[in-house]
Amino acid sequence: MSLKKRKLGQTDLSISSLGLGTVKFGRTEQVKYPNTYSLPSDEQVADLLDQAKSFGINLLDTAPAYGSSEERLGRLLAGRQDWVICTKVGEEFINGKSVYNFSADYTKKSVERSLINLKTDYLDIVLIHSNGHDIDIIESTDCLSTLQKLKEKGTIRAIGMSTKSVEGGIKAADLTDLVMVTYNPISTEEGIVINHANNKNKGVLIKKALNSGHICEDAFKKNFDFVLNKEGVSSVIIGTVNPEHLQTNVQIVENILR
C-alpha cells in the first residue's frame, strides 16, 4: 500500500491524501472521541509512525493543545525531511482546559517552542487554532501578520487556519495558504469554504471526516468516499493510535482513490 500524494494548494508541499492526527499521542482529557484511551508508549508511537510511513503517509497533524504530542514527535520521529508536519498556534491545554492567546508575542513564542519540541529548524505548516471567533482573530489580532512575517523569514513554509465558521474559512482562504475545515456527510456547511478555497487554488485539510469516531465502522467508507471525492480537498486528517485502525483506513482510502 502506498497512498497517492496531492499538491497543497499553491505551496511547494505534496501531502498524502490521508494525514495522521496525533492528539492521542499526548492528551486524554477533554477530547471528543467516544471511547476512553490511554497514552501509547514511546515504542507504540514509534511503531505507528513507521507503519504510517510504510503506507505512504507523510502528513502529521499536531498542536501545542495536544499535550505532549509535539515533544513526542520530536523525540521519536525518524527522517524529519520525509515528513510534512502541521502544527498550530493560539491554543494551549492547561490544567484541563483550553486557553487561547492570539497576540504577536504569544504567537512568536509558540512557534519558537514548537521548533524546540519538534527538534527542527523550520515548520512545514502552522495553522491558527481558532476559538470559534474566526473573523475577530483574523481582523483584530496580530496572530496572522506575525505568522506571515515568520513565513517571509523562512521559519514557516505555509500558514493557514483551522476554522469554525463559513465566514472565517472564506476569509482565511483569501489571506493564507490553506484552511482546515470540518466536513462529512452530516456536517456539510463548510463545503462552501472548500469550494472557495479550490477556486483560489488554496489547500484544504479536513478534520472530523469520521465525526470524531462517532459513527460505526461500516460508515467509514461512505464518509471517506464523500470527503475525498470532494473537489478541492487536499488531505483528510484521522487521529488514531491503533495500528489496525490505521491499516483499515489506508486500505479504504486507497480503494476509493484507485
Q: What are the residues facing 19 on neighbouring strands?
A: 237
> H/E element holding 16?
strand 14-16
213: left (phi over 0), alpha (psi -120 to 50) or beta: left
> H/E element holding 104?
helix 104-117
C-alpha 155: how far from its chain's center? 18
Residue with cell 524529519: 80
**Catalytic center residues:** 66
> H/E element holding 161?
strand 156-162
Can you tell me the distance from the alpha carbon of 105 to that of 109, in angstroms, rounded to the nearest whole number? 6
